[in-house]
Amino acid sequence: MSSATDIPLKVASLAERPDLEEAMLTMDSTWPAYIRPDPVLVHWVFERHARFQLVVLDEEERVVARAASVPVSWDGTDASLPDTGWDGILRQCVEDTYRGAPLNTLCALEIAVDPHHKARRLSGRVLDALKEAGRGAGHGDMIAPVRPSGKHARPRLSMEEYVRHTREDGLPDDPWLRVHVRSGARVVKVCPVSMTISGSLDQWRGWTGLPLDRSGTVDVPGALSPLRVDTGHDHAVYIEPNVWVHHPLART
């Protein structure tokens, strides 16, 4: 009897299947509601770099996972990976593309699996498919501002300290970082301001279901660090730290 992980899956890029863009964007995921990429920038990336946007289809042609990535020009040094992580690398992709820089590196932005298909353990398989897409484009490296999957349970702990936690076998304690390391990645450094998301208090109440009636720092569902609330100015700001990892893509 075959297990869920044995069932064959099909991986396609939006360059091959542009008809799947809407299904990719609307696929169920566990990302919090307040993680809201700029829709104009997302559309530009999907249109300009469609070959690096992957969808995973099950045996009934339903989208069960997705991977979003962008090509950039990287000099290979750890120091040049931006502290602004997710936000910074998107801006860099636009700049590098328009100035005609050599796009020699793939940057993974998101790998998401439909919650109803978690039992298939797809995350590692999708990660491998994204790496293969980078190799197919001639890229020698893949980088990623990783969002550690267990950090939301410890939002008051600094990301630097969280990343230092390892298991007895030396692998990261965080499950998603562990998948990357097992796939051949090196944990490089923390990007402390990877995403900056601001909004009015009414917006944040809608996203979190919390009253947010006092100024200060508040732990919100799914957040990796506290939300900074300012009732006097009717706004709140969330600054999310991520972790840079590096996957060499040389073929074995």
Please write down the HEC assignment for all residues of the chain. Answer: CCCHHHCCCEEEECCCCHHHHHHHHHCCCCCCCCCCCCHHHHHHHHHHCHHHEEEEECCCCCEEEEEEEEEECCCCCHHHCCCCHHHHHHHHHHHHHHHCCCCCEEEEEEEEECHHHHHHCHHHHHHHHHHHHHHHCCCCEEEEEECCCCHHHCCCCCHHHHHHCECCCCCECCHHHHHHHHCCCEEEEEEEEEEEEEEEHHHHHHHHCCCCCCCEEECCCCCCCCEEEECCCCEEEEEEEEEEEEEECCCC
Tally of domains in the chain = 2
pLDDT of residue 3: 45
Calpha distance 74→66 (Å, rounded): 24
**Token digits of residue 80:** 């040049």
**Tokens at 89, concatenated:** 């690398």
The confidence score (pLDDT) of residue 251 equals: 57
pLDDT for 207 equals 96
Burial class (CB in 10 A: 0-12, 13-18, 19+), 60: exposed
Same domain, 112 and 219: no
Q: Do 12 and 135 fall into the same domain?
A: yes
Residue 207 shares a structural domain with residue 82: no
Are residues 146 and 231 located together in one domain of the fold?
A: no
Q: Is the pTM of this model over 0.85?
A: yes
Q: Which domain holds residue 213?
A: 198-238
Instruction: List the pLDDT tens digit at each of the 252 positions of the chain.
Output: 334 455 567 999 999 999 999 999 888 888 899 998 888 888 899 999 999 999 999 888 889 999 999 999 999 999 999 999 999 999 999 999 999 999 999 999 999 998 887 756 788 999 999 999 999 999 999 999 999 999 999 999 999 999 999 999 999 999 999 999 999 999 999 999 999 999 999 999 999 999 999 999 999 999 999 999 999 999 999 999 999 999 999 754
Q: Are residues 83 and 138 in the same domain?
A: yes
Q: Are residues 135 and 48 in the same domain?
A: yes
Q: What CATH number has the domain bearing residue 124?
A: 3.40.630.30
Q: Clarify whether residues 182 and 206 are in a common domain.
A: no
Domain identity same for 129 and 215: no
Instruction: Clarify whether residues 72 and 179 are in a common domain.
Output: yes
Same domain flag for 145 and 231: no
